[in-house]
Structure 1
Amino acid sequence: MPTPTPNSWPPALVLSLVAAGTILSISMGLRQSLGLFMEPMVQNAGVSVATFGFAMALQNLAWGIGQPFMGALCDRYGGRLVVIASSALFCAGLYLIGTGSPLGLQLGGGLMIGIAVAGTSHGVLVGIVSRLAAPAVRGTAIAILAATGSLGTFVLAPTAQALIERWSWQGALGGLAVLAAGMAAVAFLFRTASPGAAAGPAQQKPDARRAIAEAMADRSFVISTVAFFACGFQLIFIATHLPKYIAICGLPPSVSAEAIALIGICNAVGTLVAGYLCQRWGNKTVLALIYLLRTASIAVFFSLPVSVETTLVFAAAMGFLWLSVVPPVSGLINGRFGTANFGTLFGVMFLSHQLGAFLGAWLGGLSYEWSGSYAIAWIALILVGTLAAMLQFLAEDEGSPRPRPA
């Protein structure tokens, strides 16, 4: 592996990395704090658990469907315009949630915020950083981006809970909309790559159709895409329904906010560790171990009595494994296909993730409505995660970049 040198971190990369980390932190913090609004909307707006769960499921489906298109737009035109438009969509979506109607929740919190997150999350931002970073530091830069992006959850979850308690849930949404608007201003810090900044496959011109055809003929890519379904299924169920699960177990709302914040801070550490391990063990092995350890954590939490202590320990374990999938997934795509079409290929893989997220959020709410508990959903998380780990272990090592036909 090439040894990084001081000029491996040019000012354009550093400034764009700071901007991308800030945007990702705000976007992920806002999205993962929306579960805190379930209980006040159920109590004060008459929204059912199943309706809220379906809106979050719709959000993740819109995110997944929109991600390949947002990634392709970023590959071709750059990320600034994509982020600015997505920031406006985020604000409009939060406003519609504040109307308190099921239609506003599904249109705003579901469709609009889902598309907005597609334009302000990893598929767009990792692509921007990848094209600026030299191969020697690309993995480190992506790990730093994913780690700093998780810090927003640590700050915004308790902030959102405090705003709900001090103002109202509608007032809290207004405060979050101001933060969402700030992403558009930060996008002006993005810089473009200088000639020769990223050697090798990164210099290819973007060609979304050809890139997708090559990727779908690659066994490792296909297996990783199928396994990625479990990641969305597990994480979005937890992000959406953990606050409600904690509430029905008799714990106060503050524990939910603390758990989500703990996920955010532990995620920063876990993502950096994952980036380091990918350089030592390979992307395939690290990704399989993440699925296995995450599923084991879910199984232990489900089998133990719910208390403040077990909830916070579970949140810490899940946080450590939350976005740690980003370095190995990004490394797999960049290593085999280069950076020119990263946004498109990440979007294709992420669509599988979001199909899992859709089912995790929606079926979690339905299982509670039908049975009065989340037991069925927790068991499903364990089964799906186990299958994903087994699949990922069967994938090929990424090795050298995949040869491209003339």
Structure 2
Amino acid sequence: MTSPTLSTMKRPWIVILCAALIVTVAMGVRQSFGLFLPQMSIDIDISRSDFGLAMALQNLLFGLAQPFVGAMADKYGAGRVVLAGALLYAVGLVGAALATNALGLHISFGLLIGTAQSATTFVVVLGAVGRVVRPEKRGSAFGIVTAGGSFGQFLVVPIASRLLGDIGYHQTLWLMAGAVALSGLLAIGVAGRGGAATTTENGEQSTREALREAAVHRGYWLLNAGFFVCGFHIAFIATHLPAYLDDKGLRIEIGAQVLALVGLFNILGSYVFGRAGDMLRQKYVLAWLYAARSAVIALFLIAPLTHMSALVFAGAMGFLWLGTVPLTSGIVGRIFGVRYLSMLYGIVFLSHQIGSFFGAWMAGLIFDATGSYNAAWGLSIALGFFAALVHIPIGDAPVRRLQAA
């Protein structure tokens, strides 16, 4: 019989708290990057599509690394992975501060930070949380950790905006690098691997067997399709909304307020949707969430654009922002169990980040070609309704292996 490891002996609240704080720092810094576009585009002499490509590469690497990083966390423990990711994150931020052209930005903001984020955000820490929380409480626990990312956005974005105005983007990136490096100390709170509980739940299932089981599950691929849309929405809005508002005559400071408000309202939204996932069919909640996003975007475009309408949009979209995370990861854990949750959710998150790649880059290309974001907004609306439809037929019952156990 396998003896319990560090993660199974820790009190769940310790793991949840440390996981939430790790995500607070990592996601808070990440969600502020759109504010850097105006200063960096002038100083480095790059176009919006160049900056968008850097963010797109970041999102793509964020996704491509997830299955591998998740598998490493399942095998070696989340703590080691988080620590390595925090240090790499800091190196990437320093590299961005020193970048003198688009290529330097693509390597630092794109490749390095994208890889680092895969080790310091949801996939790794939710796997650690899932192994110490009872199944009927996972949705709420995942919602709390996800809310940490939103609190980071609410906290860090206004600070970053103020620092950008006072000391410029170079020094701001150096300060962010120090904060991210220090957050690596929290890795001790999520250290350890799954122990006896997850071994019993999954038997002697190997990594290859877990992948094969997921590969033939139709609902798993529908989750991938839906999460692609989530990534498109998040990256497009986070990267380009401040510039869109600036183009329409609203100050860049209002863009910072909007992003901060998105984070504030998603603190509530993440917890509410996490709780809803404990009480309702998660796939139906997801379908409603995606349809609501499309409706909110459409109303935002129809209404006259003012400071107030931008704030209302931020609050509504913020409530729906990352509520997909506890629900989607919860469905993966429900269907397949938690032994390989980091790896299997990492694959779904890869689809999310492919969507993010296109959301960040394609919107920049559309703007450079047409001088407007209108086509990107329209595509976002259509994709939201598509995602709502694909979640309805998902078969979310536990696989036979878990039912037998």
Judge same fold: TM > 0.5, yes or no.
yes
Q: Residue 139 of structure 2 corresponds to which residue in structure 1?
A: 139
Separation in 2 of the partners of 1:355 and 1:136?
31
Kindly report which structure 2 residues correspond to 1:3-402, keeping only aligned pairs within 5 A, or say none.
11-98=10-97, 99-192=99-192, 196=196, 201=201, 204=203, 207-396=206-395, 398-402=396-400
Change beyond 3 A, Cα 1:205–1:388: same
Residue of structure 2 in register with 1:403 after alignment: 401
Residues 299-319 of structure 1 show CA distances to partners (whole Å, capped at 9, x for unaligned) of: 111222221111111111111
How far off is 1:362 after superposition? 0.6
Q: CA deviation at 1:204?
A: 4.2
Distance 2:72 2:209 in 1: 15
CA positional deviation for 1:215 = 0.9
Deviation of residue 196 (structure 1)? Answer: 5.0
Q: Which amino acid is 2:262 matched to? A: I
Native 8 Å contact 1:135 1:199 kept in 2 = no
TM-score between both structures, scaled by the size of structure 1? 0.93
- Deviations 1:61-85 (Å, cap 9, x if unpaired)? 1011000001000000001111111
- What SS is found at the alignment partner of 1:119? helix
Amino acid at match of 2:104: G
CA distance in 2, matches of 1:41, 1:340: 43
Give the match's secondary structure for 1:167. helix
Separation (CA, whole Å) in 1 of partners of 2:325 and 2:29 = 19
Q: Distance between the aligned counterparts of 2:207 and 2:285, measured in 1? A: 28
Aligned position for 2:5:
none
Q: Distance in 2 between matches of 1:198 and 1:107?
A: 38
With normalisation by structure 2, the TM-score equals 0.93
Contact 1:132 1:198 in 2 (8 A): no
Distance 2:57 2:195 in 1: 41
Q: Give SS of 2:131's match.
A: helix
Matched residues in 2 for 1:114 and 1:80: separation? 19
Alpha-carbon distance in 2 for matches of 1:256, 1:172: 18
* 8 Å Cα contact 1:42/1:48 also seen in 2: yes
In the alignment, is the contact (CA less than 8 A) between 1:15 and 1:191 conserved in 2? Answer: no
Q: Secondary structure at the match of 1:361?
A: helix
Amino acid at match of 2:90: C
Q: How much does 1:195 deviate? A: 5.5
CA 1:287/1:194 → structure 2, altered by over 3 Å: closer, same or farther? closer
Secondary structure of residue in 2 paired with 1:284: helix
Partner of 1:4: none
Is contact 1:133-1:197 (8 Å) kept? Answer: no
| Secondary structure class of the residue paired with 1:395 | coil
Cα distance in 2 for residues equivalent to 1:34 and 1:130: 30
8 A Cα contact 1:163 1:172, kept in partner: yes
**Residue 94 of structure 1 contacts residue 108 of structure 1 at CA under 8 Å; is this kept in 2?**
yes
Structure 1 counterpart of 2:401, one-letter code:
P
* Contact 1:12–1:191 (Cα < 8 Å) also in 2: no
Distance 1:55 1:138, change over 3 A: same
State the AA in 2 paired with 1:368.
Answer: F
CA deviation profile, 1:351-394 (whole Å, cap 9, x unmatched): 11111111111100000100011011111111111111111123
Q: CA deviation at 1:344?
A: 0.8
The number of aligned residues is: 396
Question: Once superposed, what is the RMSD of the aligned Cα atoms?
Answer: 1.9
Moved runs in structure 1, 4+ residues, more than 6 A?
Answer: none
CA drift of 1:275 comes to 1.4
Decide whether the 8 Å contact of 2:77 with 2:193 is kept in 1.
Answer: no
User: Per-residue CA shift, 1:27-62, capped at 9, x if unaligned?
Assistant: 111111001000111223212101000110011110
User: By how many angstroms is 1:105 displaced?
Assistant: 0.7
- Separation in 1, partners of 2:37, 2:208: 40
| Unaligned segments of structure 1, at least 5 residues | 1-8
In structure 2, C-alpha distance between the alignment counterparts of 1:212 and 1:302, rounded to whole Å? 42
Q: 1:57 to 1:157 in 2, by over 3 A?
A: same
